[in-house]
A and B are shown apart, each in its own frame.
Chain A
Amino acid sequence: MADIVLDKVTKSYPDGTTAVHGIDLEIADGEFVILVGPSGCGKSTTLNMIAGLEDITSGELRIDGERVNDKAPKDRDIAMVFQSYALYPNMTVGENMAFPLKLAKLPKAEIDKKVNDAAKVLDLTDYLDRRPANLSGGQRQRVAMGRAIVRSPKVFLMDEPLSNLDAKLRVQMRTQVSRLQKQLNTTTVYVTHDQTEAMTLGDRVVVMRGGRIQQVGDPQTLYDHPNNLFVAGFIGSPSMNFLPATVAEGKLRTALGDLPLGERMQRVLAAGDAPRELVLGIRPEHFEDAALVEDRQRSHGYEFTAPVDLVESMGSDKYVYFNVEGGAATSADLADLAADAGGADLPSSDQASLVTRLSAESRVRDGASTKVWMNLDKIHLFDPKDGRNVTLHEGRAAGVAAS
């Protein structure tokens, strides 16, 4: 049990790359914190610095209030689960789990007891005499977890522990990891680049990009009130829709039509340093088939008509895709997100695709023009230059129409 404090922690590699730029982060005792971000953003580096496997270039790392920058990994009392599992192939499952206890020179009887307890928790009792080579991926993963929990360390670090599992197993293990963490109540730092894992697992999520923290918060806050374009696009699946927008005559001009602006937004956007060109962001679930919207709600929204490109019925609801004239929004943040999603090679067109999630009762059909309602309270506006969310007011996003 311990709290972890990163105080302006920076990591520069000898070849000159700075992988982590002065990170500040406080992790409370017993907290489950997720580091998430695209590949190469410095998640593993940060984790390795906490572990002591990488030196800290500058800044301070404190565990339990004590500065540990110069402590060897073995003196930090931290256990780590690696993405590759890193099981010792020459040892059996039991020996793998007993290894940290043997190094700690515990008496034999106690080692056996702890290994058996951990094996029971992880459902590994039948495999204690097998070698890692003869286990399935999920079992190997559990052995790696077992080796971490046997010695009840102060802190768990996990570097993408589930990314080598197939999709179904990943979901199962996700709940198991979550349950285990609750049960043991050990401070845990978990690295992933999968935003679904980040949203479902953690007490708090840290979104990183290019070695910098973009936003820290509980999953719902990140989802509802993203600080910037990058966080907005990274969190959520399918991801937020982005369209270019400009301010004209007190209205927001977009490819969907001229949206009304509330008093507060008008004031914000009238300021001298306010951007002229904006990126509008709205999540798929904030659209609805206009025919199904209750009158009470209708006034909070804006309705437009567009031809349906494609309907995907999920049973519980329908994903409906629209093509919108006027081109896709462009910004450095969006380019980064596209590169991470592997979509950088997709042909760019002057049509932006809009993803909406409508209720299952909607009668939309492929090709037909449909009237769609969108919730103005849920719209975010971003400055394309620095990605800042300009709709954010005291940390909360209130949409564009609010006064």
Chain B
Amino acid sequence: MNTKLRWGLLDAVVVVFALVPVLWVMSLSFKTAATLTDGNFIPRDWTLDNYKLIFQTDQFVRALINSIGIALISTVIAVVLGTMAAYAISRLDFPGKSLLVGVSLLIAMFPQVSLVSPLFNIERQTGLFDTWPGLILPYITFALPLAIYTLSAFFKQIPWDLEKAAKMDGATQGEAFRKVIAPLAAPGVFTTAILVFIFCWNDFLFAISLTSTEQSRTVPVALSFFTGASQFEDPTGAISAAAVVITIPIILFVLFFQKRIVAGLTSGAVKG
């Protein structure tokens, strides 16, 4: 009983610690400019003005489109490439396998800050600067190791025998992968997709260094350029509203895929 209580208390502390800032931002986003700094947790003056304001500015809507587009494209490419690489790593023995794993680990560890100036110069030279591909490319680079690692862990859980069984049952290599392995790997693929999407969605470092105009600026960067309705107005309310808005796609994304992440889908395949 006592330990249960202690754990419950600990859980509560963690939840409060994580949620208070989020709730604070939400509360700020509903406050009027006048009550913004009154320190009340629950707004006394409710308003939707902040939300109206950000959707009126072309700046935010444009950034939202950029963010969604860039994050989705990067996620799809990284997950497709990652799936193929992880399948090869977990199933095949090929020359250079450990090199591939080593290099991808190296990339994952590489401090991204140190790449910002070289990337800036390269993209200026090649004309990629301030374009979608200019952000998609570095995102894929850093998302791939993440994708490969998560996916190969998932693939390793799928019993090898299933593929052999499918072949004995008359499937070609392709059919065995499509009809037996892919459905089992799906939860892993969706989990990876969520992780990669969040990584791309949250990035600020590359987005601020490799963009200069609204043409490819993503939301996290656009937020930092927010001004109020006039130059002299405090933009805190608008920024909070925007912050709330950009968490929504992530929540939707997770909810949408959550149904497909059925844990233990492979149980019963083999006697464990």
Residues of A at the B interface (CB closer than 8 Å) are: 14, 51-53, 72-74, 78-80, 82, 84-90, 99-100, 103-104, 131-135, 137, 140, 147, 151, 164
Among A74, A78, A132, A151, the residue within 8 A (CB) of B171 is: A74
Among B159, B162, B266, B268, the residue within 8 A (CB) of A140 is: B268
Among A74, A87, A104, A131, the residue within 8 A (CB) of B172 is: A74
Among B162, B168, B264, B268, the residue within 8 A (CB) of A80 is: B168
Chain B residues near A79: list those with CB within 8 A.
168-169
Chain A residues near B109: list those with CB within 8 A.
none
Contact B167 A103 (CB under 8 A): no
Residue of B nearest to A76 (CB): B168
Could you give, for residues 154-194 of chain B, a 1 whenever the CB lies within 8 Å of some chain A CB and a 0 otherwise?
00000101101111111110010001100110000000000
Q: How far is the CB of A391 from chain B (nearest CB, A)?
A: 43
Contact B183 A84 (CB under 8 A): no
Contact A88 B162 (CB under 8 A): yes
Interface residue B259 (Cβ < 8 Å from any Cβ of A): no
Bound state CA distance, A84 and B180, in angstroms?
16
Chain B residues near A72: list those with CB within 8 A.
167, 172
Contact A103 B169 (CB under 8 A): yes
6 additional A-B pairs beyond A14-B93, A164-B271, beta carbons within 8 Å, are A84-B271, A85-B269, A87-B165, A90-B183, A132-B269, A133-B264
Q: How far is the CB of A100 from chain B (nearest CB, A)?
A: 4
Chain B residues near A74: list those with CB within 8 A.
167-172
Bound state CA distance, A31 and B269, in angstroms?
30
Interface residue B56 (Cβ < 8 Å from any Cβ of A): no
Bound state CA distance, A379 and B203, in angstroms?
82
Interface positions, chain B 240-272, Cβ under 8 Å from A, are 264-271
Q: How far is the CB of A294 from chain B (nearest CB, A)?
A: 51
Bound state CA distance, A86 and B171, in angstroms?
15
Chain B residues near A85: list those with CB within 8 A.
269-271
Bound state CA distance, A200 and B184, in angstroms?
38
Contact B164 A89 (CB under 8 A): no
Counting from the closest, the 3 A-B pairs by CB-CB distance are A133-B268, A84-B270, A132-B268
Bound state CA distance, A90 and B168, in angstroms?
18
Q: How far is the CB of A43 from chain B (nearest CB, A)?
A: 16
Of A52, A89, A140, which is in contact with the most chain B CB atoms at under 10 Å from its CB?
Answer: A89
Bound state CA distance, A112 and B63, in angstroms?
55
Among A86, A103, A134, A135, the residue within 8 A (CB) of B164 is: A86
Contact B267 A89 (CB under 8 A): yes
Q: How far is the CB of B155 from chain A (nearest CB, A)?
A: 15
Q: List 6 A-B contacts (CB under 8 A).
A: A14-B93, A73-B168, A74-B172, A82-B161, A84-B270, A132-B268
Residue of A nearest to B171 (CB): A103
Chain A residues near B170: list those with CB within 8 A.
74, 100, 103-104, 151
Contact B271 A137 (CB under 8 A): yes
Chain B residues near A164: list those with CB within 8 A.
271
Chain B residues near A87: list those with CB within 8 A.
165, 268-270
Residue of A nearest to B167 (CB): A73
